[in-house]
Structure 1
C-alpha cells in the first residue's frame, strides 16, 4: 500500500480548517505505517486562556480514555502472558467485596469488553471518600443489566481492572506502566501527573478560573490523585507513534502475536458496540476510524479530544491529539471532525 502525499497534505489541511471553524484550539497529528512516521505536524495553540501559547510537536496531552488502552489494557496483556491473570478469572477472585445479583459470574473478560453490567459513569469524587472507598462503592453497586447481554461503555470496568492489576503488581498503576510499558518502548514523555511546561490546556476550572494544565481533566481520575485505569495518562505524539508502531507490527515481540490477535478481535459481535480487549474494533460502527476503514481496523478515543486508530491490513495508523475541551467541554465538533480526518487519511492510500 502506498500513500499519495498530496492527498495526505490535504487531509492535514483539514486540521487548520477545523481550528478556523472553532472545532478545537490546536492539534498535533501523525500518520505512519509499519516502517515509521510518514507525516507529523502541529497546529494552532495549546492554550488560549489566560494567555495564548503555541502548539508544538512535543506538546503533551491529557489522553483521557486513551489511558484505558495505552496503559491499563496493555499492562493486562503483559500480565496475562506472564501467567499472573486470565481473561476468564472471576472479578470476585481478586475483589472479595464484589458481590450482588448477577455478579458471581462476572469475569475479567466482561471488564475488558464493557459487558459487565455497569452504569457508564457516576461522580465518585462526590460519593466516596478515597480511591479505596470508590473501589468498594463500585463493588457493591447494583448492575444496570445482566452481564454479557449488552455492551455499554463504562469507566467502572477499567477503574476496577486498574486496581486489580495494582494488587497483582504490588504497586500503583503509574509505577507498573513505567516499568512494563513506557520504559521498554522508550516512551520517555508518557506518564501520569507529568512534570512539564509544554502541556495542552483543558477545561477552565470553575473554582480557580484557570485551565487545567498537567492535571487530570477527568473528575474521578483527579480524585484518585491523577492515577487510574480509566484516565489520567499524558503523552505526546512521538511516544504514541512508538506505541502505534508496536501495534501495527502485530505486537513486534513486545507482546506476542497471539495476544495481539486476541486483543483486536471483535468479541461483542451483535451487541451495541464492537469491542476487542479494550480496543474499539471498526466492524460496521465506530465511525471515528473512518467510514471506509476495513472492519478489522481498531482504535480508541479520549474525551479531551484525543484519538488513535490502526489499520494493519492497509498498513496505516493515524493519531489525532486535540485540546477540544479548552476552554469548555461543550464543544462537540470533534465527533464529526475525527471521521472527516480519518476518511481523508484513508483516501490517500493506493495500491
Structure 2
C-alpha cells in the first residue's frame, strides 16, 4: 500500500499533472476518454509524472504505456527515445518491442492451453511422454503442469556453451540435464522449462511455437504486429536494445539462448506493439474471445489465469499471480489479477475484477543493460487502478445474476408436459428436497402426470423424508401414493435388479450440497450403474449447486480411496451440479449409462442458493441453512476426528469444539492466520446428542463476513494445522483421512506443515480436474 499513499500525496502536491496523457487513435481497440468510462483523468495523468522520473533517473531511454478499461483504450502514450545510440530516435506508440519473457505466457502457454483443450496434451502428463529423450537423469516424472508453474526441478538457465553448436545439439543438452532439485518441492523460475514447453508444441503439432502461435493465436486475433522473427518493416520501428557481434540489436532477439535457437524459443523471442498486445489482453478479459474469434474457451482462460499455490507463492499456468517476480504488479490490483514481465523492460498485467489491463513496454537494456523498470511498471499499474472511480480495492468480480426465476429440472420437465417420460414406466430416486418451484412434490407431480407411469420410489441416506440420522434405513411405503420406497441406505446402497423390474427409466431428483463426501451423489452414481446393467435409461432432473458452480477447491481424492463418501476422483468442493456430475461419472468411470440430464433454466454458475428464488429445504437433518452449506466442505472434513462439529446443537457446522480444546487460543491463532472472508469467535456449547453429548465444549464459532472471499476448504485445513500445533496429544487424527481422501495431504498435516505447503501438494491435480470438469459443464 506504500505506492497508494505515494499516489495520494503526489496528487495533492503535483497539481500541474492534471493534464491527461494524450491517447493515440488505435486501429485495434476503440479509444475512449477516461471520463466516459468512469476514470479520473487527473489521477491517470500521474503516469506522465512517474515515467518522466524514470527517464530522468536513467531507468530507461523510453517507454510506451497503454491502459485499457472496459474494453477501451483510455491511455496510450510514448515517452523518451527508442534509441540513443548510434543516434537518437524518438519513441512512438507503434514501436515494436522485444517482449522477452512475456513470450512465456502469451505465445507458449497459450499454445499449450489450446492443445490441452483439444485433448492433445494433459497437465499431469510427464514431459517424457512427448519428449522421450528428456526422461534421463531422473527427469521422467516431471509434468507439464510443473513446467508451467516453474517447479519442475530444472536449472534456471543452462550454460550458454550448450548452445554453441546449433539448435539440435542445444536441445539434446537440455534433454541430458540433471535435476536441479526434487520436482514439485520448490519454485525456481526457469527458462529451460519453457524451452521444453515450446518443444512440446512442436512435437505435438509438427509446427514450431512461432508457426503455431502465428496460425492459431495472433493471426486469428488480427495481431499483425506480433510474432517471432519480425519482418523488415517491423524491424525498422523496433526499439534498440544492446550490441551483439559488433552491431546494435534492433528487431533481433536480445536473449542469448533464444538467439542461438534461431530466434524461436518457448521462453523468449516474441515481438509486439502496445496496441497489438491490447488485443490479446482484451481477449482474455472477454473470456478468450475477440469479435467472432475464440482462441480459448472461457473455462480455459479461468484455469490458466487463476492462482495455484506453489510452495509459498501463487502462480498461474504460464502467468505470475503473486510471487517474488510481482514487483511490476499494481498495489491496487485484485486477487484475480495476473501478469508477467520481461527482462528487456516489458510487463503486462490484467485484472478481470476491475476489467483493467496495463501494458508497459520499454527498452531499459539500451544501451548498456543497466536500466531498471519493475517498480516503475508497478507504480503505473497502481495509478491506473486508483483512477477507477468507485472501485472496490482487492474485490472479486462477480458476474451479474439472472433476473429471471430459476427453474429446476422438474419445473422444466413439467412445463414441457413430461415429453421425455411420455409413456414410460419409471422409478424415482428422491426425498423431501424433490420439489417444484411452487413447492409441489416431484412424487406427486409425476404420479399425477397422465402420460407417466410412476411405478416405484427410492430414497437415499436420511430417508424419504430426510429426517433420519441412522446407519441403516429399511424399505417403506409412501403413505400418499401407496408406492413402495426402496431404501438405498440399508441392506444395499444400489438398486437391485428386482427393484428395477418392469421399469423403462430411473429418474433422479435430489438436492446436493456441493461437497464430495455428501452421499447423495454416490447414490446417484450407484443407481446409474444399476440402470446400465438393467438396460434402462437414467434421467437427472438437475438442481443448483447451492454454494455456487464456479469455485472448486481442496485435495482430489486419491486413486484407490473411492468409497460411499468419496465416489470419484474429484476435489472436496467440486463446483458442479448433480447433472454435470452424472455426465462426468458416466464418462470417466466408464459407466456407459443411457444418460439424459434435464437442465435448469435461468441458473447462473455464480449464484448461491439464496439468489435463485427457490425455497431452502434442509437437505439433511444437520444441514439447516445456506450458511452451514457454505461452511460444510471445510468444516465437515473434521467430523471424523474427536471434535464436535455442532451436531446436537442448533447450528451444526457453524462451530467446532471439544472438552479438551482451548477455544480462546484457537480463535486467536485462526484470526492471526489472515484467512479471507471469515472471523473466529471463542465459544462454549453443550451438544444434546451426538459427539460429546451433554458435555461442555470449548470451541470456535465461524462468522463468514464475505462468502465470495471465504475459502471453506482452506479454512478447514488451517483449523487442522492449528489443532495439530496446539493440541498434538489430544486431537486424534487417525480417522481424519476418511473424508479428506488424500494421503499426502494427511501426512503433511500430521507432520506439522503449513497450509501453504499443504495446498501446494494438490494444485496439479486440482488444475487437471478443472480441465476434466470443463467438458461436462452445462451452464
TM range (shorter): over 0.9
> Paired residue for 1:113, among 145, 149, 171?
149
Q: Which deviates the most, 281-290 or 76-85? A: 281-290
Deviations 1:214-272 (A, max 9, x none): 1110000000111111101110011000001001222224311110111012223433x
Give the conservation status (yes or no) of the 8 Å contact 1:216–1:232. yes
Q: Which residue of 2 aligns with 1:180?
A: 216
Query: Secondary structure of 1:338's partner?
Result: helix
Greater relative contact order structure (CA < 8 Å, 6+ sep): 1
Say if 1:214 and 1:127 are closer, same or farther in 2 by CA, change over 3 A. Answer: closer
> Paired residue for 2:314, among 274, 278, 286?
274
Say if 1:285 and 1:204 are closer, same or farther in 2 by CA, change over 3 A. Answer: closer
> Paired residue for 1:200, among 227, 239, 242?
239
Give the conservation status (yes or no) of the 8 Å contact 1:34–1:249. no
> Paired residue for 1:291, among 320, 325, 331?
331
Give the conservation status (yes or no) of the 8 Å contact 2:162–2:173. no
Q: Which deviates the most, 280-289 or 141-150? A: 280-289
Q: Which residue of 1 aligns with 2:116?
A: 80
CA-CA distance at 1:330 after TM superposition:
2.4
Q: Which residue of 1 aligns with 2:287?
A: 250
Query: Secondary structure of 1:345's partner?
Result: helix
Q: Which residue of 2 aligns with 1:338?
A: 377
CA-CA distance at 1:329 after TM superposition:
1.5
In 2, Cα distance between equivalents of 1:98 and 1:326: 37
> Paired residue for 2:73, among 16, 34, 37?
37
Aligned length: 347
Q: Which residue of 2 aligns with 1:228?
A: 265
> Paired residue for 1:314, among 354, 365, 368?
354
Give the conservation status (yes or no) of the 8 Å contact 1:283–1:294. no
Q: Which residue of 2 aligns with 1:215?
A: 252
- The alignment's TM-score, normalised by the length of structure 2, stands at 0.43
Q: Which deviates the most, 122-131 or 13-22? A: 122-131
- Once superposed, which parts of structure 1, at least 4 consecutive aligned residues long, lie more than 4 Å away? 125-128
| Structure (1 or 2) with the larger CA radius of gyration | 2
Query: Secondary structure of 1:122's partner?
Result: coil
- The alignment's TM-score, normalised by the length of structure 1, stands at 0.94
Q: Which residue of 2 aligns with 1:46?
A: 82
Say if 1:284 and 1:328 are closer, same or farther in 2 by CA, change over 3 A. Answer: closer
Structure 2 runs not aligned, ≥5 long: 1-36, 391-779
CA-CA distance at 1:125 after TM superposition:
4.8
Alignment of 1:63 onto 2:99? yes
Deviations 1:314-334 (A, max 9, x none): 111100000000002222x31
Give the conservation status (yes or no) of the 8 Å contact 1:114–1:151. yes
Alignment of 1:171 onto 2:210? no
Give the conservation status (yes or no) of the 8 Å contact 2:138–2:178. no
Q: Which deviates the most, 112-121 or 134-143? A: 134-143
Structure 1 runs not aligned, ≥5 long: none
CA-CA distance at 1:127 after TM superposition:
4.9
Q: Which deviates the most, 135-144 or 125-134? A: 125-134
Query: Secondary structure of 2:340's partner?
Result: strand
